[in-house]
Amino acid sequence: MLTDDHDPLKGKMLRVLDQDANVNEDLVPSIDDDTLKRAFYTMVLSRVADEKAVAMQRQGRLGAYPPNKGQEAASLGPAMAMDEGDWFVWSFRELAGLLWRGLPLDRYFLGWMGNEEGNRYDERLRITPPSIPVASQYAYAVGLAYASRYRGESAVTFAFTGDGGTSEGDFHESLNAAGVFRLPMVFIVQNNQWAISVPRSRQTASATLAQKAVAYGIRGIQVDGNDILAMYAASKEAAEVARSGGGPTLIEAYTYRLGDHTTSDDARRYRLEAEAKEWEARDPITRTMKYLYSRGLLDDDEASDLWDEAGKAVEDAVARAEAFPRPSLEDVFKYTYEDMPPCLEEQLDELRGTEGRP
Ligand SMILES: Cc1ncc(C[n+]2csc(CCOP(=O)(O)OP(=O)(O)O)c2C)c(N)n1
């Protein structure tokens, strides 16, 4: 078992593919060539879409946005290890995984443009909406996993949060409950080294985040989060354990946020540019590309075509999102209560009276 051979308490991290594309042949998971190429394209698509979203925010076409740049492999590996009926409970920085699960990109843009319709997904995708209250998604992920088992389904629930999320009560309560009930779950912590301006060293005195699993009696593993092969292998094993009744696993994806926390942030004010530069050399996309080159599965021309294809797909998705009807005023009010209480009706009436005014 990878979790036995990579004990976080012994300081072992799982890595299969290093930044120069050397592979540990003993650990390479079985992934067919087409799937590998599709994984590369998905990361490229995520990167192009992410950069477009940042640019659109600057142009006033999209609201505050949390960039994913550098973290593509950390959500894609788990998504690749999922079965169709599994649950993908995301936080707010998991675009590559969402694309792999089949989320239409125009929905993604629409959601960040502030239109709630963007967060209304096809139920068959089994993707929950983004969760901004940090780690709160872990609580309902536990509920989903409990319900799946209660109904006799074989679904595994994959739940994401960040390193900052591990300091929230929801994180601890959820891991505790998942451990006690041996729920079919995979918890992924995207340790991107920063929670806004709080560095990982100030988040917890634990040497790793993966070792927090020990306290809850569940498996834990620290994985190179920029290594798509390692993220897939660890997630696949965790999913198999969960599906066969072996309980949850905590995966710490050791990665880095190359961009700002959100478009409202300026990371240069609290972290050294040299640090980001160092991590740029570990970029998951470059690393996967080098690996595909070395396997003869990709060359410069084909790679360039894939970036072009992604560019077109992003422009099409943006056009569809921008052509979507604007939300109505009522939308702001009508989803909290089944019957709108008088205080909200009053506010809605008042707002209707001001409609059209500058
Ligand atoms: C409960 C809660 N507290 C504070 C915030 C404000 N906030 C938004 S993101 C964030 C940091 C989250 O850091 P981390 O969990 O490491 O994820 P990352 O943003 O780095 O992906 C904070 C404090 C929030 N959204 N929810």
Domain ranges of the chain: 2-327, 332-358
| Sites in the chain below the pLDDT cut of 70 | 355-358
Pairing status of strand 198-199 against strand 194-195: antiparallel
Instruction: Give the angle 205-207-212 at the CA atoms, nearest 5°.
Output: 85
Instruction: Provide the pLDDT for residue 203.
Output: 98
> Ligand 1 centre from 251 Cα, in Å?
19
Helix axes 136-150, 169-180, angle to 10 degrees: 20
Is-contact 188 248, C-beta < 8 A? no
Question: Which CATH superfamily hosts domain 2-327?
Answer: Thiamin diphosphate (ThDP)-binding fold, Pyr/PP domains (3.40.50.970)
Instruction: Provide the pLDDT for residue 205.
Output: 98
Our answer to whether residue 257 is catalytic in this structure is yes
Is-contact 219 238, C-beta < 8 A? yes
Q: CA 30 to CA 282: how far, in whole Å?
A: 23
Question: Among candidates 214, 229, 175, 171, which has minimal Cα distance to 10?
Answer: 214
Is-contact 348 330, C-beta < 8 A? yes
Is-contact 348 329, C-beta < 8 A? yes
Report the nearest atom of ligand 1 relative to the CA of 91. Answer: 21
Our answer to whether residue 270 is catalytic in this structure is yes
Report the nearest atom of ligand 1 relative to the CA of 92. Answer: 21
Our answer to whether residue 6 is catalytic in this structure is no
Q: CA 146 to CA 131: how far, in whole Å?
A: 20
Instruction: Provide the pLDDT for residue 357.
Output: 58
Residue bearing the CA closest to ligand 1, atom 25 = 133
Instruction: Provide the pLDDT for residue 190.
Output: 98
Q: pLDDT tens digits for 251-281?
A: 999 999 999 999 999 999 999 999 999 999 9
Q: CA 276 to CA 271: how far, in whole Å?
A: 8
